[in-house]
Chains A and B, each alone.
Chain A
Amino acid sequence: MSLKPRKVDFNATWSSLQDTVRGVITLDHVPRTVWNDRFSDVYSLCVAHPEPLADRLYAETKQYLIDHVAKLLNKIQEGGESQLIRNYFYYWSQYSEGAGYLHKLYFYLNQQHIKTQKGSDAEILYGGSDISGAGEQMEIGELALEVWRADMIAPLGHRLVKLLLEVINQDRAQQPLTVPIEAVRGTILSFVEVQSCKKKGQLQLYQDLFEEPFLDASGEHFKRDAARLLQEKDVSLYMEKVMAKIDEELLRARKFLHFSSLPKVSQRCESHMVAEHLYFLYSECMNMVQGERKKDLSNMYSLLKSVPNAISVLVDTVLEHIKAQGLTAVSNLQGESMHIHFVENLLKVYKKYKQLIQEVFNADQNFVGALDKACSSVINHKSNGGRGPCRSPELLAKYCDTLLKKSSKGISESEVDEKLSQSIIIFKYIDDKDVFQKFYSRMLAKRLIHQQTQSMDAEEAMINRLKQACGYEFTNKLHRMFTDMSVSADLNNKFGEFLKKENIDLGITFNIHVLQAGAWPLGQTVVTPFALPQQLEKSVQMFEKFYHTSFNGRKLTWLHHLCQAELRLEYLKKPYLVTMQTFQMAILLLFENTDVLTCGEIRDTLQLSNEQFQRHASSLIDCKFLLSESEDLKSESSLRLNLEYSNKRTRFRITAAVQKETPQEVEHTMNSVEEDRKLYLQAAIVRIMKSRKVLKHNQLIQEVCAQSKVSFAPSIPMIKKCIEALIDKQYIERTPHSSEEYSYVA
């Protein structure tokens, strides 16, 4: 064959080509040689001389297809309605496959004639030109499908859809299908495939013709089904059946429909079976949550989450439930180990519901948020309807103290570590972190000073956890306390060398902690009057001498109430080594030359305050070192040395009772928090005003709250008081325009 354009007889060529077209579109046998000849016929017609015959070829082919489809339309209807889907599917399968081959036969026409005429794809997409419009030519494959759409689906579509819906209803009713699944599915999908050459809106026909009527019919079916299931008045059962129904419908949709319909099917189902019956579902919500019925809750969750905003009722119910459980777990706690029960009960509640949320609600953020809110509200709960104090910070600090102290017996180091790291869970929920810090640092101070620390590693690990949760500022003072401990160790060594060099014997083993006054929360009890026993005088004098020659411009203040001594008691049947506080020691030392002294004598000799005297004398009576005839220790009451004292252990300490936190100390701690907050707020206000220069009242309050959030939630009246105080101190002033606006005074 020649590729040169030449004169062609259109009628003769078309006549043989038409015969092959028939063979191709009906999937008849077409020999390879014939195919090749007709392939070049298409070429020669397109390039015919003197005039290309492509347009005529196109017109004749189109007409042929129109006639062919018209014949098929008749054939399909021959068997009546009962055969309609089956026949349609048969001829559609044949025709659509044939159209594919035909498209290839017309390769040259498609490539050279249609494409160049149509222009670029971009023009088609964005130029808005309607390619199915009159006069526009399509590639042959597309043309064939378009003819099917216009001349087959347009007249027959509604009848087909009616029959298709009937078959789907048979399937729903579990009746035997009168049409094979393959034909039903194939027919439905033909509405998509017939549009497959379109650049956009490929699903439009499927959606308008089939999907919409299908969804409407299904909706009616779901409504009736819901009404039927509701008659049983059992929420658990209803939910199970609805879940099963949704699964079943999705399975059906997968069997018959285009995949794009799946979410629409479940959405319809949910809207009629869930969204329209929310109050019915909610009616059982409370019982399910309170009974912690996991299966029901999980079903409820998966049903409600599909409906916008429907989940919030369940979330709120869960929140209230956790809160109630939490409050119950920590109510009516009393006694020595109250702090342990408090923390461990809370953790139990937290872990239980965290697990439940994971398991039942798939760790959904809504429920995680509810757990957080519930925990925060339990942990920051104030007794007496909000007027009483919140004890969580104190109890948590005490819990840590118990774990970090030497006395925590029978529990391994790794258990202690685990418990401490768990305590951070509770810590994070505490609003008044500054109160926790106050208690924690007081207890840490006591552990360090009284050598009660179990392990320095555990102490540091805990401080690092707090630092991680709250930042460097928060643990700054705690770190300084540690620094002082190592500085002191160093100092003791140097003092030892000093004594050696000067050839001084103190008569006792002497050790000292020298602390920076500002870093240690030692309270206002710092200066306690006390007449130092003569046995200690030399040590104190020597150390002061050493210290003042080593450091310039520093003043030392002895905190005798925190000092402790180890004594050897030699007046009893066997010797004992007893560690006690310095005041306890001082009292015992007075009995050197007598066995009886009055309280007045002891107090005056030692110059102790009555409170300190009472505390330490009664602790000695409680330990049976001293005997007293009366309950109260009046000035004239006499104390007698117990010469019959005996103890199985020969080395022990009697410091616990006097080292315990007194109610006054707790109150003092709370008051110092109040003072610190005022200073913190004033500093924050100055800082904000310095950078912003002028600020409205409400904005200032907001920024102050945002800054202090890390360590506490300030009260608005307190912020207002601080603003007033700063106006008085002339750090800031009200602007002339408004009393609700402040400016920074440089």
Chain B
Amino acid sequence: MKVTIKNWVGVATWKWVANDDNCGICRMPFDGCCPDCKLPGDDCPLVWGQCSHCFHMHCIVKWLQSQQVNQQCPMCRQEWKFNNK
């Protein structure tokens, strides 16, 4: 071998993969965070429902708490179930 790699420092960026650009509850972009948070990223994560809709975790939790009877997705009105893939 003429040349061998001893070590390599890789650089990558990560982004949420969502069907939409914005959260259907707070309307803020998924690149940013929910209105209650200051920093986007790990501290303000996204979650997906089995209906495939996606929200800021803080937003959907708040929404579900405000629904007395049925736990429905605010977009499609199907029963909300967290999709843990």
**A interface list, Cβ under 8 A from B:** 449, 451, 476, 480, 483-484, 487, 507-520, 522, 526, 535-536, 539-540, 543, 547, 551-560, 562-571, 577, 582, 585, 588-589, 591-592, 641
| A-B contact sample (20 more), CB < 8 A, given A570-B2, A571-B2 | A483-B39, A483-B41, A509-B6, A517-B13, A517-B14, A517-B31, A518-B32, A518-B40, A519-B41, A536-B8, A539-B10, A547-B14, A552-B84, A552-B85, A555-B15, A557-B13, A563-B9, A565-B8, A567-B4, A570-B1
Contact in complex: A508, B8 (CB < 8 Å): yes
Q: Which residues does chain B contribute within 8 Å of A552, judged by CB atoms?
A: 47-48, 84-85
The 8 closest A-B pairs by CB, nearest first: A509-B7, A571-B2, A562-B11, A517-B13, A512-B10, A565-B8, A566-B6, A559-B11
- For residue B17, CB closer than 8 A to chain A, the reply is yes
Least distance between B3 CB and chain A CB atoms (Å): 5
Contact in complex: B14, A514 (CB < 8 Å): yes
20 pairs across A/B with beta carbons < 8 Å?
A476-B39, A484-B41, A508-B5, A511-B7, A513-B12, A526-B13, A553-B46, A555-B15, A555-B17, A556-B14, A557-B12, A558-B10, A563-B8, A563-B10, A564-B8, A565-B8, A565-B9, A570-B1, A571-B3, A589-B3
Contact in complex: A510, B8 (CB < 8 Å): yes
- For residue B28, CB closer than 8 A to chain A, the reply is no
- For residue B16, CB closer than 8 A to chain A, the reply is yes
Contact in complex: B16, A554 (CB < 8 Å): yes
Q: Which residues does chain B contribute within 8 Å of A519, judged by CB atoms?
A: 40-41
- For residue B54, CB closer than 8 A to chain A, the reply is yes
Contact in complex: A516, B14 (CB < 8 Å): yes
Bound Cα distance A562, B40 (Å): 23
**B interface list, Cβ under 8 A from A:** 1-18, 31-32, 38-42, 46-48, 54, 84-85
Q: Which residues does chain B contribute within 8 Å of A516, judged by CB atoms?
A: 13-14, 40-41
Contact in complex: B2, A515 (CB < 8 Å): no
Bound Cα distance A535, B2 (Å): 14
* Known contacts A509-B8, A563-B8, A570-B1; A556/B42 CB under 8 A: no
Contact in complex: A588, B3 (CB < 8 Å): yes
Contact in complex: B13, A515 (CB < 8 Å): yes
Which residue on A lies nearest to B54, using beta carbons?
Answer: A553
Which residue on B lies nearest to A506, using beta carbons?
Answer: B8
Contact in complex: B2, A520 (CB < 8 Å): no
Query: Mostly helix, strand, loop or mixed at chain A's interface?
Result: mixed
Bound Cα distance A517, B4 (Å): 31
Q: Which residues does chain A contribute within 8 Å of B15, judged by CB atoms?
A: 517, 554-555, 557
Q: Which residues does chain A contribute within 8 Å of B13, judged by CB atoms?
A: 514-517, 520, 522, 526, 556-557, 559
Contact in complex: B12, A480 (CB < 8 Å): no
Least distance between A191 CB and chain B CB atoms (Å): 75
Q: Which residues does chain A contribute within 8 Å of B8, judged by CB atoms?
A: 508-511, 536, 539, 563-566, 582
Contact in complex: A585, B41 (CB < 8 Å): no
Least distance between A627 CB and chain B CB atoms (Å): 15
Least distance between A477 CB and chain B CB atoms (Å): 10
Bound Cα distance A519, B42 (Å): 12
* Known contacts A519-B41, A553-B48, A592-B1; A508/B6 CB under 8 A: yes
* Known contacts A552-B85, A555-B14, A570-B1; A451/B9 CB under 8 A: yes
Q: Which residues does chain B contribute within 8 Å of A569, judged by CB atoms?
A: 2-3
Which residue on A lies nearest to B16, using beta carbons?
Answer: A553
Bound Cα distance A509, B10 (Å): 11
Least distance between B55 CB and chain A CB atoms (Å): 11
Least distance between B30 CB and chain A CB atoms (Å): 10
Contact in complex: A585, B14 (CB < 8 Å): no
Which residue on B lies nearest to A515, using beta carbons?
Answer: B13
Which residue on A lies nearest to B31, using beta carbons?
Answer: A518
Contact in complex: B41, A559 (CB < 8 Å): no
Contact in complex: B3, A515 (CB < 8 Å): no
Contact in complex: B12, A512 (CB < 8 Å): yes
Bound Cα distance A571, B40 (Å): 48
Specify which of A511, A516, A563, A577 lies most central, judged by the most chain B CB atoms within 10 Å of its CB. Answer: A516
Which residue on B lies nearest to A643, using beta carbons?
Answer: B2
Least distance between A415 CB and chain B CB atoms (Å): 30
Least distance between B75 CB and chain A CB atoms (Å): 16
Contact in complex: A510, B3 (CB < 8 Å): no
Which residue on A lies nearest to B4, using beta carbons?
Answer: A568
Bound Cα distance A582, B39 (Å): 31
Bound Cα distance A557, B14 (Å): 6
Least distance between A551 CB and chain B CB atoms (Å): 8
Contact in complex: B3, A567 (CB < 8 Å): yes
Bound Cα distance A476, B85 (Å): 33
Bound Cα distance A554, B47 (Å): 11
Which residue on B lies nearest to A510, using beta carbons?
Answer: B8
Bound Cα distance A523, B40 (Å): 19
Least distance between A284 CB and chain B CB atoms (Å): 59
Contact in complex: A568, B3 (CB < 8 Å): yes
Q: Which residues does chain A contribute within 8 Å of B84, judged by CB atoms?
A: 552
Least distance between B51 CB and chain A CB atoms (Å): 14
Bound Cα distance A522, B46 (Å): 23
Q: Which residues does chain A contribute within 8 Å of B47, judged by CB atoms?
A: 552
* Known contacts A568-B3, A570-B4; A514/B46 CB under 8 A: no
Least distance between B39 CB and chain A CB atoms (Å): 6
